[in-house]
């Protein structure tokens, strides 16, 4: 599987994402500068890393969401190919309209950087199939604007379509319904605030994030074999 790790001005978790895909998973991966993307059709999966794209000067993810490369990412997603957005990547996905809702300032208005326990609420996606539904995993968070918000109608829609993939066991930021990660209705676009790429080896304090990437690769390979 070949991954494109999209790098915007201000991205600072791109190397972590690249390391997880290339060195830990052993898959192909490229760091792709947002202005020199070429053809993203050559990639099987798109990874949008965390950080502070464009310094978060306007609104987290808002400027990156208008960049030219996002049109290619939307086309990639429309074909059912996987897109993973973590932290700032999640913010970009909501700002671009690829996922519903918005990320606001943390409830306590402070930056948070620590491990959190998450509950896997949906293991029937290409990102979570190696987890058990109800399983508790430990992933780090590092954000100031991780408070997920959506209106009541959208929340009911997310619940009805089983789009809520991860919830916080002890909600750190005020997110509605304890939401830590959601997928689109197709199930091929995942946005989450916690960092699975920072939890792929026990040296880092947890390897619970590894199964997310392994799930993605396994499902891609099964799909590739079927469609080949």
Q: Could you tell me where the DSSP H helices lie in the chain?
A: 14-19, 69-78, 88-95, 152-160, 210-227
Q: How far apart are CA 12 and CA 32, in angstroms?
A: 13
Q: Please, are residues 208 and 137 in contact by the beta-carbon 8 Å criterion?
A: yes
Residues carrying an active site annotation: 87, 195, 197
Q: Please, are residues 193 and 87 in contact by the beta-carbon 8 Å criterion?
A: yes
> Which sign does the torsion angle of CA 224, 94, 92, 72 carry?
positive
Q: How far apart are CA 129 and CA 132, in angstroms?
A: 8
Q: Is 76 helix (H, G, I), strand (E, B) or coil?
A: helix
Q: Which residues contact 73 (CB under 8 A, 6 or more apart)?
A: 6, 40, 46, 48, 83, 96, 98
Q: How far apart are CA 73 and CA 96, in angstroms?
A: 10
């Amino acid at each position: 599987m070949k991954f494109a790790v999209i790098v915007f001005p201000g991205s600072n978790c791109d190397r972590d994402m690249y390391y997880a895909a290339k060195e830990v998973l052993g898959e192909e991966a490229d760091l792709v500068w947002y202005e020199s993307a070429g053809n993203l059709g050559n990639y099987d999966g798109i990874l949008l890393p965390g950080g502070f794209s464009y310094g978060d000067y306007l609104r987290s993810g808002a400027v990156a969401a208008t960049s030219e490369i996002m049109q290619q990412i939307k086309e990639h997603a429309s074909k059912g190919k996987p897109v993973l957005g973590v932290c700032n990547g999640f913010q970009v996905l909501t700002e671009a309209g690829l996922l519903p809702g918005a990320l606001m300032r943390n409830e306590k208005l402070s930056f948070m950087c620590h491990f959190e326990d998450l509950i896997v609420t949906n293991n029937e996606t290409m990102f979570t199939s190696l987890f058990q539904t109800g399983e508790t995993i430990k992933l780090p968070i590092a954000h100031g604007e991780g408070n997920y918000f959506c209106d009541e109608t959208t929340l009911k829609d997310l619940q009805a379509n089983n789009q809520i993939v991860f919830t916080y066991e002890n909600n750190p930021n005020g997110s509605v319904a304890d939401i830590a990660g959601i997928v689109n209705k197709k199930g091929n676009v995942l946005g989450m605030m916690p960092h699975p790429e920072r939890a792929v080896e026990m040296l880092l304090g947890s390897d619970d994030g590894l199964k997310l990437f392994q799930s993605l690769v396994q499902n891609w390979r099964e799909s590739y074999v079927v469609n080949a």
